[in-house]
């Protein structure tokens, strides 16, 4: 049984921040990543929480990520923003972009933010959720190093490529939050099982010949199983077009891996669309969403995407989160 220690969200944020700064990340770049790490732990997505901090730190130290990068924002069209993350962390670039995206979407009715020369943005829903909390419908896409093979093939050509949509509830909260990858499971979960020496369920990954495997190491050497077969491949291609081809980021087939020290900066990308419901009929939109959510919650045992995370987040705010002591030891070593 894994030994754990319960920490407050503030303590989790502080641990992540201190480790990132100790590794060479500037305080202004470390802060948004630390905030997202605490939020991720609160949501119960431990694979992208503190367990990922040693990887982030390793990548700063080996040069995969420029911990002191300063993102730049341009506006080539009235409702289109372009962010250059300068091979730094995605989070500071997203923060800088959202500062302009949110008011722009309110003014124009709809606006887009493309981010290039970026890196792993963590849990995509953490970002689209912020757009919904600002009263906007938020769509997010992020590409990743190739790990999904095309239908009928065995060699990866696209990443797990998550997409997310967050819908406002009209009261400053989030009514619906969908956040899912194009693969059956996030690759980080397979990596986590590999680190812990645990087998993975069949259906998570495929071996180099395209056959199912329960060995996480073999799965990492092969490919991730697409969610829904060819439909998952289609979703991955959709995300690749928006987050990489359109944003000017590196395609997954050319990006260095998010794990390990091989290769230089991955230079992957993100793409966000923010829509103001008020551009059509905000009050009617809010009522339709209320009706839709109500119809689902009225069914016994039914739940919406995001319900589980929301419940965990509420509980974590008062009770804290149980963190593996092995993870805490690794972070303590990084922070000195």
Q: How far, in Å, CA of 101 to CA of 119, rounded?
A: 20
Catalytic residue positions, numbered = 47-48, 189
Instruction: Output DSSP code: residue 50.
Output: G
Residue 143 CA to residue 271 CA, distance in Å, equals 9
- Segment holding 73, helix H or strand E: strand 72-77
What is the number of other CB atoms lying within 10 angstroms of the CB of residue 211?
A: 10
What is the Cα–Cα distance from 148 to 156, expressed in whole angstroms? 5
Sign of the CA dihedral running 37, 89, 139, 76 = positive
Give the whole-angstrom CA distance, residue 69 versus residue 75.
20
Q: 260 vs 120, 148, 249, 277, CA distance in Å?
A: 13, 19, 21, 42
Report the distance separating Cα 171 and Cα 132, nearest Å: 10
User: How far is it, in rounded angstroms, from Cα 38 to Cα 33?
Assistant: 9
The helix (run of H) or strand (run of E) holding residue 232 is helix 230-240
């Amino acid at each position: 049984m894994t030994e754990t220690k319960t920490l407050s969200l503030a303590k989790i944020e502080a641990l992540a921040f201190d480790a990132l700064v100790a590794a060479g990340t500037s305080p202004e770049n470390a802060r948004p990543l630390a905030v997202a790490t605490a939020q991720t732990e609160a949501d119960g997505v431990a694979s992208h929480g503190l367990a990922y901090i040693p990887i982030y730190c390793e990548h700063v130290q080996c040069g995969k990520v420029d911990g002191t990068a300063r993102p730049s924002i341009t506006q080539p069209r009235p409702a289109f923003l372009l962010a250059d993350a300068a091979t730094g962390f995605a989070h500071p670039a997203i923060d800088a972009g959202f500062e302009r995206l949110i008011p722009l979407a309110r003014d124009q009715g709809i606006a887009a933010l493309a981010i290039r020369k970026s890196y792993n943005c963590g849990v995509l829903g953490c970002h689209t959720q912020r757009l919904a909390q600002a009263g906007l419908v938020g769509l997010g896409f992020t590409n990743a190093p190739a790990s999904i093979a095309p239908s009928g093939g065995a060699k990866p050509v696209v990443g797990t490529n998550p997409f997310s949509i967050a819908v406002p509830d009209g009261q400053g909260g989030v009514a619906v939050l969908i956040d899912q990858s194009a693969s059956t499971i996030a690759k980080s979960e397979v990596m986590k099982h590999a680190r812990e020496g645990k087998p993975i369920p069949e259906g998570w990954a495929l071996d180099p010949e395209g056959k199912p495997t329960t060995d996480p190491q073999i799965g990492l050497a092969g490919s991730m199983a697409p969610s829904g077969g060819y439909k998952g491949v289609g979703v991955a291609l959709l995300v690749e077009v928006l987050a990489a081809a359109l944003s000017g980021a590196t395609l997954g087939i050319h990006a260095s891996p998010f794990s390990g020290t091989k290769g230089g900066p991955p230079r992957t990308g993100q793409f966000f669309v923010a829509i103001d419901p008020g551009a059509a009929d905000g009050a009617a939109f809010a009522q339709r969403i209320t009706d839709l959510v109500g119809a689902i919650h009225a069914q016994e045992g039914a739940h919406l995407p995001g319900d589980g995370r929301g419940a965990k987040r509420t509980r974590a705010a008062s009770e804290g989160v149980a963190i593996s002591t092995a993870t805490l030891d690794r972070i303590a070593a990084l922070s000195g």
